[in-house]
């Protein structure tokens, strides 16, 4: 239809503009041809607009972009319209306006329709329906107790030092006065990762004393810090032992630090942790890195020293190891042992937590059973 019609008009003009051979060229010379092409185009677009059925907001937006936006088809058509010869403008202009109105109407109509349908669903939604219940978690008991220990020591000026769990032989053993092949190492057997370097193998740390070594190596005294962290030992898992557990160790190095300072610091800690009536006692012990060394007991906070299951009827429960830092260790870490002295202590967080909450099986800490964990609620 189009070709025939266009061809007929061109034929008419052909007498005026001769010779005219190709169609495109012909159109360039034939004003009526532009009119026809544009009319056809507009009819096609009008059809498209009428049949378009955007069913959601995204499709409607695409419709708007395609036809009505500044870079849309209608803008192009109005540009094209400028090239139409004046005598044809009325006819084409009319069509063009028809297309524009159709696009605008369609858009407004569909917009309203879609908005109504969304409004409908909003109304359908029951705002009073109960929300989905989500369980509130709780801190792990070991975290609660660790935070409490940190808080107690930070009140007397101790900072917190963090360190690596994979350690070399020097920081975990040798610097701390555990000679190679010495039986003292048997107390802390661990998991070795790399033994290719005989003098400095790599293993999982057995205590956070390694963090004390790194701290002392890193600067000059005074040092007053605690070292909380996870440690590892090659132990069979039972109700009383595990191959993973947690410690808080402490270190105080300065001029004139004495055993009396150690005793007073630990008494303060015990009374803050277990109650102000708590008493402590120190029993001589042995650690390679402290001299003298001691184990500290606290008076049983359950029976108040009268004797019960927890303290095995002795009135006392053991909670930590401590002592004055051996001068060899200070020298190993580059500290002048004639000028400086200090003390160190170390406790297992599991042990204190078990005593505090009367938990009788260490394995419960690692099983992640929510029935166990739910029983500990704390803001700390």
What residues pair up with 296 in beta bridges, in sequence order? 282, 320
34 near ligand PHE, judged by CB under 6 A: no
Choice from 322, 329, 330, 354 touching ligand PHE (CB under 6 A): 322
Q: Is residue 224 a contact point for ligand PHE (CB under 6 A)?
A: no
Please give the structure tokens belonging to residue 376: 């500990």
Tell the smallest beta-carbon distance from residue 209 to ligand PHE (Å). 4
Least distance from C-beta 298 to ligand PHE, angstroms?
Answer: 16
323 scored as a contact of ligand PHE (CB under 6 A): yes
Stretch that binds ligand PHE, among 6-14, 18-26, 332-340, 343-351 (CB under 6 A): 343-351
The reply to whether 207 sits near ligand PHE by the rule CB under 6 A is yes
Two tokens, residue 66: 């395609």
The tokens describing 265, both together, are 């610091």
Give the strand order in the sheet containing 244-254.
Answer: 159-160, 223-232, 244-254, 341-348, 316-325, 290-299, 280-287
Closest distance to ligand PHE from the beta carbon of 299 (Å): 21
Beta-sheet pairing, 159-160 with 223-232: parallel
Cα distance between residue 279 and residue 7, in whole Å: 115
DSSP-derived secondary structure for 297-351: EEE-TTTTTS--TTTTTSSEEEEEEEEEEPHHHHHHTT--TTT-EEEEEEEEHHH
Strand pairing of 166-168 and 202-204? antiparallel
Stretch of residues binding ligand PHE (CB under 6 A), selected from 80-88, 109-117, 129-137, 315-323: 315-323
Six token digits for residue 7: 């061809």
Q: Which of 153, 269, 287, 340 binds ligand PHE (CB under 6 A)?
A: 287
148 near ligand PHE (CB under 6 A): no
Could you say whether residue 345 binds ligand PHE (CB under 6 A)? yes
Contact between 246 and ligand PHE per CB under 6 A: no
Residue with the shortest CB distance to ligand PHE: 346
Cis peptide preceding 125, ω within 30 of 0: no
The interface mask with ligand PHE, positions 61-100, x = CB under 6 A, is: ----------------------------------------
Binding positions for ligand PHE, rule: CB under 6 A: 207, 209, 249, 287, 290, 321-323, 344-346
């Amino acid at each position: 239809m189009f070709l025939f019609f266009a061809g007929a008009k061109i034929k008419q003009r052909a007498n005026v503009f001769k010779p005219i051979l190709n169609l495109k060229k012909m159109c360039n010379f034939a004003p009526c041809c532009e009119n026809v092409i544009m009319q056809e185009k507009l009819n096609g677009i009008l059809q498209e607009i009428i049949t378009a059925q955007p069913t959601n907001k995204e499709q409607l937006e695409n419709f708007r972009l395609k036809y009505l936006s500044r870079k849309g088809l209608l803008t192009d058509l109005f540009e094209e319209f400028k090239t139409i010869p004046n005598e044809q403008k009325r006819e084409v202009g009319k069509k063009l306006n028809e297309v524009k109105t159709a696009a605008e109407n369609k858009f407004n109509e569909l917009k309203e329709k879609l908005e109504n349908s969304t409004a409908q669903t909003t109304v359908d939604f029951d705002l009073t329906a109960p929300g989905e219940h989500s369980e509130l978690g709780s801190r792990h008991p070991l975290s609660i107790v660790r935070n409490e220990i940190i808080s107690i020591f930070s009140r007397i000026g101790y900072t917190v030092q963090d360190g690596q769990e994979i350690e070399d032989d020097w920081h975990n053993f040798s610097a701390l006065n555990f000679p190679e092949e010495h039986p003292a190492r048997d107390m802390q057997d661990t998991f070795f990762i790399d033994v290719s370097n005989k003098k400095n193998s790599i293993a999982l740390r057995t205590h956070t004393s390694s963090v004390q070594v790194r701290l002392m190596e890193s600067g000059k005294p005074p040092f007053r810090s605690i070292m909380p962290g996870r440690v590892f030992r090659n132990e069979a898992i039972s109700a009383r032992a595990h191959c993973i557990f947690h410690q808080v160790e402490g270190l105080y190095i300065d001029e004139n630090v004495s055993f009396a300072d150690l005793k007073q610091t630990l008494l303060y800690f015990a009374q803050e942790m277990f109650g102000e009536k708590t008493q402590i006692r120190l029993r001589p012990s042995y650690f390679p890195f402290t001299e003298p060394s001691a184990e500290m007991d606290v008076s049983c906070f359950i029976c108040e020293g009268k004797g019960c299951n927890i303290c095995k009827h002795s009135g006392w429960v053991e909670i930590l190891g401590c002592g004055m830092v051996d001068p060899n260790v200070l020298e190993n870490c580059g500290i002048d042992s004639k000028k400086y002295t200090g003390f160190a202590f170390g406790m297992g967080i599991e042990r204190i937590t078990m005593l505090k909450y009367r938990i009788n099986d260490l394995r419960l800490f690692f099983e992640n059973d929510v029935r166990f964990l739910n029983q500990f609620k704390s803001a700390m």
